Amino acid sequence: MNDSSLSEASITLVRDFPPMDATERERLQRKVQAALASVGLCRCGAVQVTIEGDCIRLTGFVSTYYVKQQVQEAARKAAGDNCIENLLCVSRDVID
């Protein structure tokens, strides 16, 4: 396969959802926060959930990469078709 056929075979995924209004963003934010709380994650407010466009942004600190992955998976299940941007930092100084 040469470069030209490779570019022809490339697939571009374009999301064409209407933008969320403030009420929808707030509802989605609460839904993700509730999902994290229901599985015992982020009790101390070390993880913040914000909505940017149609993307859920996770920021803050967790104690291990495993917890970071758990938080992302819980958020993904609550997110529906919205993307997840996991910007969580792992720090041994955090108690989950």
The confidence score (pLDDT) of residue 19 equals: 72
Token couple for 51 = 């909505």
Partnered with residue 59 across adjacent β-strands are 48
Q: What is the pLDDT of residue 54?
A: 81
Instruction: State the pLDDT at residue 42.
Output: 65
Please choose, from the candidates 64, 73, 81, 94, the residue with its C-alpha nearest in 3D space to the C-alpha of residue 17. Answer: 81
Q: How many whole angstroms separate alpha carbon 51 and alpha carbon 58?
A: 9
The pLDDT score that the predictor gives to residue 17 is: 57
Instruction: List, run by run, the mean pLDDT of 10-residue segments along the chain (96 residues).
Output: 51 58 91 89 78 90 91 92 93 73
